Structure formats: structure tokens, C-alpha cells
Chains A and B, each alone.
Chain A
Amino acid sequence: MKRETMINAALLLAMIAVPLWAYYAGKPFTITLATKVAILALAGVGLNIALGIGGLVSFGHAAFFGLGGYTMGILASHAQSYSPLFNWPFLFEGSQNMLMIWGVTILVSALAGLIIGLLALRTSGVYFIMLSLAFGQMLYYFAISWPAYGGEDGLSIYVRNGFPGLNTLDPIQFFAICFALLLLALFFTHRLMNSPFGLALNAARQSPLRAATVGVGVFRLRLVALIISAIITGLAGALYADLNRFISPTMLSWQTSGEIMVFVILGGVGRLMGPLAGAALFIILEQVLGPISEYWHIYLGAMLLLVVLFARGGIIGSLAKRDAAHE
């Protein structure tokens, strides 16, 4: 078995073992933290498709994350207050059913991915980074100054949305939902990496010109990758909103984009489990360093710096030295 496969298996095992232990030890907050890791990892998995496989450095993934969150918030708040979202062409009263919310989130994120992709993919390199940032910032400022759903104050959803057959307010059951979605996304990414689509995307990342010469439609390929990436990150946003029962423009800010990117790079760009490793390490650092010092960001910064300088390829990359991510 390859070393990376073993590391991946160990990570997944830990993600199951820790919440189970917490459940029997009566530590619900540890389960909540594990849920946060699963959700942020899911957002990272989404970004990793664009960033790791497609080489599209999106600095605006908070746009999709936040759109997912706002989709949840808007649907749930209308359902909660019994005020229909719209009457035409059919009556839609919003929803507090996760499956319904996820469906709408997929539509909304895909549409946003399509529009942003059509415009931003005309550029490349740093220009693409900045253009994706620009779209994120536009949504951020729009959300702040749009009063209907709370503006900067955000919007509280008092009760977590329901899932048929489960009690989502029970931390371990909500964790199970998030973890199942994460597994699904990981499985999908794994299949995607080895599919003709994934291979062509990878080829386009390494040399767009060569890929185009052999007949690969680079623009369309990247557009589809960005849309898939947007959908997964959007779903993570809807779950994150459910975890906190609260949405706010912070979800759309460039710092959020930066954090999702940090998870991916920290874990290892283009590695299947990179986002999970990165998100887990980030949350652990936050929990361990936070209580030590008011100035814990200094230590966090120093740790990140050490990882970049001396642990190339992220955590997974440096642990699984011999097999490279892409070759």
C-alpha cells in the first residue's frame, strides 16, 4: 500500500474515532469541532478541484461558500416566518428541509460558478486570482448593504434544519450527515481525478497549449471544473450555516477565501485528503494555541511559515514523501 493511502485511511479513521470517543465520553463540543473540521474540509475539497487539479487559483471561493450559507438562511427564514419567498410562477414558501436546501444550493452555486467562470476564465495567472477575488468582494459588499436579510448583522435561524429520519440537533447525528457528505465528495473527487475529464484537466493545468493542440477544449474543461468546485464549496457553506444556525457577510469575505485556501495548501495541494488534513490541523492549532496566549496568531503564523518553508507539498506531501501528487 502506498504511504499516502495509509495516511488517508488513518485520517478518515481518526475522523470517525474521535467523535465516537467524544460521544461516549460525553464531550459534545468535541463532536461540534469535528463537525466543523468536516465542513471546512468539504469546502476545501471543492476548492481543491479547481486549485489542485485544474490549477485555477481562486481567491474568491468565499463567494460560493457564502452563497450556500445565504441560500440556507433565506429559505429557512422564509419557512420560519411563513412568508412565501415568491408566488410566481409557483408558490414557494422556503424550506427547512436540508435535502431541499441542498438542491437549491447546488443550483445557485452552479449558476454563480457558471457566470463567474465565463468572465474570469478569460484571464489566467494572477489576473484570474484577482478577478475571482473581485467577484467575492462584490457579493460581500452587496450582502453588507442589502437590508432584507440582516445586512452586516447577519441572520439567525433559531432551529437547525431537518433531515428526514434524523435529529439534526443531536451533535453526533449532524456530524454523521456532514461526514457522509464529505466522504461522498472525496469519493467523487477520487473518481474525477482518474477519469478522462480529470486527466484532461490535469493536462490543461500543466500545459494549456499542449492540451489545446491535442484537441482538449481548455476553456470548457476549466469552466466545468469551476462549476463542480463551486457546487461542493456551496454545499459546505449551507452546512456551515446550519452548524452555526447563523449566516453573515463574514462568510463572503476575502479572509474566508484565504482560510479555505490555507486549509488546502497546508494539507497539500492536489492531494485527495489534503483539505481534510489542513482543516483538522488548523482547528487543532486554534484550540491548542488559543488558550495559551492572547497573541496566539503569532504562533499560528510561525507554524504556517514553518510548514511552507520546510514541509513542501503540505502535510500529506511531506509525510508521503516518495509519491508525488501530480506526476
Chain B
Amino acid sequence: MSAILLAEQVLNGLQSGMMLFLTAAGLTLIFGVMGLINLAHGSLYMVGAFAAAAVAAYTGSFLLALAASIAAAAAAGALVEVLVIRRLYARDHLDQVLATFALILIFSEGTRWIYGSFPLFLNIPPYLSGPITLPGGIQYPLYRLTIIGVGLAVALGLYGLITHTKLGIRIRAGENDREMISALGVDIGKLYTIIFALGAALAGLAGALVGAIQSVQVGMGEPVLILAFVVIVIGGIGSIKGALVGALLVGLTDTLGPLFLPCLFGLFLEPASAATIGASLASMLIYILMAAILVWRPSGLYGVRA
């Protein structure tokens, strides 16, 4: 295996990790502050992608499409929070699971009702398409590099938001002691709505960015939802840093596993069965990783509480 191929694969792992981070960051924030398991997070990802595809088709502008994805997902998030989610904070996890499972059904079929059963078109804008040559002669798609950049920017932005702004202080306070900050006069209801909308907006942005290189269709959020849960559990629930590390770990494992495992098995098995067994094991790999990490550290890498 050449060094160029390996470098390219590491970049691919980083890129898919960054996308996962965008989805997982909102999920972990919502869980950390409100203690809410939100299965419908993947639906907000889907809402973002569909809004972007619709706006891109209408205006032809990718930037407007991205803006629309953020706005639509944030609006959907805020609406759902006000109508449904805020009644669930005081409930146990089971009620939250059932209610947000119901929301998935409503979102998925509602989207299909509005947009039809066929996948929508959303493409990379011309100024971001095609590959560029990196030092070392690696040909790499510019759009994927852009995604890595956006992911880094969001990570930095979130870090700044949480450590340096008033909202960030309230978020951290909310994670530590809900009763106390409402006793101090913070409008906790409004704070929760804002956090939920923020998480939704990040998921919507991820949906739109990914939608441009994948397919925009109903149900696209569910595999991402499961992966995002894997990420926040590996990283430790409530920890943005954990979500970043977890996302990169999962992204790299998922990209490099299918590459190395068949080679590894090829050392002592015939090629055909090595390919089959390697591919089977590769698809189980992130779950094996998660199980191993949790058995080793029962509350994730950066988790503080179970």
C-alpha cells in the first residue's frame, strides 16, 4: 500500500469524522444540558438536507442553500422543542425514547409527503468541485477539504461560545445545576429552546454539507443518528471535546478498517475468504471499538457522569 493512498485515506477519515462531529456536537449538548435522549436528531439532519436541496433548486446558490439548511433545521428544532420536547425534560429516558421515536415517524413520512418518494438533487457548487493537488502529490477533492475546514471552524466556534460568552456560561451552569441557574433568574425555558435550536442547526448544516456528496432522501438521518450516538458515548456524554475525539476516532476506524482488515486476513487466508471476512468484520468494527472503550472506561473517554 502506497503512502499516498494511506495519506488520502487518513484525510477521508478526518473528513467523515468532522461531519459526524457536527451531528454529534448538538446531540451531546442537548444531552448534557437537558438530559434528553433525542432520537429525532437524525430527522433534523434530514430536514437540513431537504431544505438545502429545495433552496438550491430554486435559487441555484449553494451558500443560500446552506443558510436555508441552518435556518430550517433550527426552526424545526425550536418548534419541536416548544411543542413536544419541553414536556419531556422531567420524564425518564424511556418516555423520551418513545416520544422522539414517534417524531422520527412523523418527520420521515411528512418529508416524503411533501417532497415525494424520489431522492432530491443537491450538488457541489462549481467553485468547490474537482480535486486539488496537495503537497506530496495527493489528489484530493477540494469539497472534502472544505468540509474538514468547516468542521474545525465549528469546533473552534463552539469552544469559544462555551468558554467565552454569557450563553456559554449559562450552558455550563445548566449542565452542572439546573435548579440553581433558574433560581438565579435565568429563563431556563428560553435557554433550553436556544440550545435545542443550536444543536438542530448544526445537524441541519451537516445534512446539507453531506447531502451535496451523498443522496438527499428520506431515512438518510437514521444511520447518522446511530453513529452520532456511538460518537458521544465513546467521547463521554455532554463533552464537546469528547464528541470531537470520538467523531475522529469513529471516522478513522470506519475508513481505515475496511482497508486494513482484508489485508490483515490476507496474510493467513486465501484472498476470497479474506475479502469476505475482512469486510464483515470491518462493518462491525466501530461497534467493537465502542464496546471495548466502554468496557475499559464505563463513562466514555471524557465523561464525568454516567
Contacts and interface: CB of A to CB of B under 8 A. Distances in A.
Q: Do A and B bind? A: yes
B290 A295 contact: no
Contact of A141 (B95, B112, B233, B280): B280
B84 A309 contact: yes
Contacts of B276: 145, 147
A305 B299 contact: no
Interface residue range, chain B: 35 or more
A153 to B, nearest CB: 15
- The listed residue with most B CB atoms (<10 A of its CB), out of A131, A302, A307, is A131
Contact of B108 (A144, A258, A297, A304): A297
Contact of B106 (A129, A130, A302): A302
Given A269-B94, A295-B112, A130 B99 contact: no
Given A269-B94, A301-B106, A304-B102, A127 B299 contact: yes
B280 A146 contact: yes
Interface string B61-93: 000000000000000000000001001100101
Contact of B306 (A124, A301, A309): A124
Nearest to B112: A295
Interface string B263-302: 0000000000000100110011001101100110011100
Contact of A304 (B87, B101, B294): B101
B295 A122 contact: yes
A223 B110 CA distance: 41
A141 B284 contact: yes
A142 B285 CA distance: 11
Interface in A248-297: 254, 258, 261-262, 265-266, 269, 295-297
Contacts of A107: none
Contact of B99 (A120, A125, A309): A309
Interface in A89-129: 119-120, 122-127, 129
Interface residue range, chain A: 35 or more
Contacts of B303: 127
Nearest to B113: A295
A307 B98 CA distance: 9
A9 interface: no
A124 B102 CA distance: 25
B306 A134 contact: no
Contacts of B105: 297-298, 300-301, 304
B34 interface: no
Contacts, number: 133
B97 A261 contact: yes
B94 A126 contact: no
Contacts of A254: 226
Contacts of A122: 294-295, 298
- The listed residue with most B CB atoms (<10 A of its CB), out of A126, A133, A142, is A126
Nearest to B99: A308
- The listed residue with most A CB atoms (<10 A of its CB), out of B84, B104, B105, is B105
A87 B230 CA distance: 41
A125 B97 CA distance: 13
Nearest to B84: A305
Contacts of A126: 31, 37, 93, 233, 237, 306
B106 to A, nearest CB: 4
A133 B229 contact: yes
Given A295-B112, A298-B109, A265 B97 contact: yes
Given A147-B276, A298-B106, A298-B110, A134 B290 contact: yes
Nearest to B236: A127
B191 to A, nearest CB: 22
A308 B95 contact: yes
A300 B99 CA distance: 12
A124 B97 CA distance: 16
Interface string A225-240: 0000000000000000
A-B pairs with lowest CB-CB distance, top 7: A301-B105, A145-B280, A304-B102, A301-B106, A123-B298, A134-B287, A297-B109
Interface of A: 51, 57, 119-120, 122-127, 129-131, 133-135, 137-138, 141-142, 144-147, 254, 258, 261-262, 265-266, 269, 295-298, 300-305, 307-309, 312
16 contacts: A57-B93, A123-B295, A123-B299, A126-B237, A127-B294, A127-B300, A127-B303, A131-B290, A138-B287, A146-B280, A298-B106, A301-B102, A305-B84, A307-B98, A308-B88, A308-B98
